[in-house]
Structure 1
C-alpha cells in the first residue's frame, strides 16, 4: 500500500456486490449501484484529544465495514480504486 492515511482517516477498498438478485435477475453494470461495503486497507494513527494525545480508531486493518453510499473521497493508487474517509463516516463493522 502506498497511501498512509492521516489522523482519523481510513482507506477502504469497496467489495463487489452481487450482480444477480435473489430472484435470479442479472443486473447490468450500468444500472448497478455503488457498493456500500468495503474492507479496511489502512488506518491512520487516530484523532487528537484536547490534551494533545492520540485516541486509537475503533476499526482496524482487515475489518469489513458498511458506509454511506456517497461517503469518502475516491482515489486511484497504482491502478486500484480506494475510498478515503473519516472513521465517523463508517456505520458499522460486519461480524
Structure 2
C-alpha cells in the first residue's frame, strides 16, 4: 500500500540520510533567450531540506552529519531514493553519497 504525504515537513530522514531538492537549471540565457528543456543539463546542485541524526559507528557513538538544513550541496546525477509530494520532487541520499558542500 502506498503512503501519500500531505507535506514534505512530515518526512523526517532516519540515521545518516539527507533530504534534498534539486535546484532547477535556468531555462533562459542572460540575454533573454529561452532554452528548450532537452538542452538544459540536469544540474547536480541541491538544497538540503532535512537531515537525520547521523549514523552509529562500530563503537556505538553517533557519527555527526556533514551538512545541515539550508546548505547547498553537489549530488551525483543518478542515485538516491526519489520522493514525490504533490507536484514537487525530492531525493533522499546517504550523507556519504553527497559529493561536496557549496560555501557561498
TM-score normalised by structure 1 residue count:
0.86
79 and 18 in structure 1: CA distance in 2 versus 1, 3 angstrom threshold: closer
Which position in structure 2 is the counterpart of 1:90? 98
Aligned length: 95
Question: 1:36-72 CA distances to partner (integer Å, 9 max, x unpaired)?
Answer: 1010000001010112121110101100000110031
Name the CA distance, whole Å, in 2 between partners of 1:27 and 1:69.
20
Which position in structure 2 is the counterpart of 1:30? 38
Q: What is the 5 A alignment of 1:6-45?
A: 6-20=14-28, 26-45=34-53
23 and 88 in structure 1: CA distance in 2 versus 1, 3 angstrom threshold: farther
Question: What runs of 5+ residues in structure 2 fail to find an aligned partner?
Answer: 1-8
Which position in structure 2 is the counterpart of 1:2? 10
26 and 77 in structure 1: CA distance in 2 versus 1, 3 angstrom threshold: same
Name the CA distance, whole Å, in 1 between partners of 2:52 and 2:76.
20
Question: What runs of 5+ residues in structure 1 fail to find an aligned partner?
Answer: none
Across the aligned residues of Structure 1 and Structure 2, the Cα RMSD in angstroms comes to: 1.8
Q: What is the 5 A alignment of 1:48-67?
A: 48-67=56-75
- C-alpha displacement of 1:78: 4.0
